[in-house]
A and B are shown apart, each in its own frame.
Chain A
Amino acid sequence: DTAVSQTPKYLVTQMGNDKSIKCEQNLGHDTMYWYKQDSKKFLKIMFSYNNKELIINETVPNRFSPKSPDKAHLNLHINSLELGDSAVYFCASSRNPLNSPLHFGNGTRLTVT
């Protein structure tokens, strides 16, 4: 069983559209994250939730809205997609928000045309 699974794996869409990426973890972890990896492979945190509460919210356009219906799920909704949003988005989880190892999903490659 995949520990952190995210769907879809690939997402190709046009500018201006709204899209969502879903993430689920079956590790029983309390904390979940969204990271963005750009074309140069730079990894940057976007959001973190602990027990469904937002604890990290980096300087991300408010077109990006995370939602955590329960502590095993963290979804990312993106409104009015722009070309610069093209990247690989990784979901991750950790046992707690304090220096415990991150377990990453395999990423969603978003391409905005």
Chain B
Amino acid sequence: QQQVKQSPQSLIVQKGGIPIINCAYENTAFDYFPWYQQFPGKGPALLIAIRPDVSEKKEGRFTISFNKSAKQFSLHIMDSQPGDSATYFCAAGGRYGGATNKLIFGTGTLLAVQP
């Protein structure tokens, strides 16, 4: 119940394309859904996050779509650029097991944006 399933494992798009990465969760106690971006040799960095009271959130070229009934959320990258090439992780967190939370990460998607 604490898993977050992420797909696809890898993705190749052309510059300007719209890669979409999908995640699904099972635990309805999750109430915080961030996406992290990781470049080689670096730590993950927060990209954008959403809470289940909204169905969509946009920040620049990045959009999260959230479907609470299906327990799914996805990341869309508009007008993708070669500089977006990185590994993307979805995660889910929530207040369970007490007053603390821990993030459960998806398995990651390696995105390559070709020039």
| Assembly CA distance A94 to B105 (angstroms) | 16
Interface flags for B58-101 (1: CB within 8 Å of A; 0: not) read: 00000000000000000000000000000101000111000111
Residues of A within 8 A of B100 (CB): 48, 50, 55-56, 97-98
A44 at interface, CB cutoff 8 A: yes
Residues of B within 8 A of A103 (CB): 46
Contacts between the two chains (Cβ within 8 Å), count: 58
| Assembly CA distance A92 to B45 (angstroms) | 10
Across the interface, do A97 and B101 meet the contact criterion of CB distance under 8 Å? yes
For this complex, into which size category does the number of interface residues on chain A fall? 20 to 34
Contacts A106-B42, A107-B43 aside, 4 further interface pairs with beta carbons under 8 A come to A41-B108, A42-B107, A101-B49, A102-B44
Taking Cβ atoms with an 8 Å cutoff, the residues of A that contact B are 4, 40-45, 48, 50, 55-56, 58, 90, 92, 97-99, 101-107
Taking Cβ atoms with an 8 Å cutoff, the residues of B that contact A are 31-32, 34, 36, 38, 41-46, 49, 87, 89, 93-95, 99-103, 105, 107-108, 110
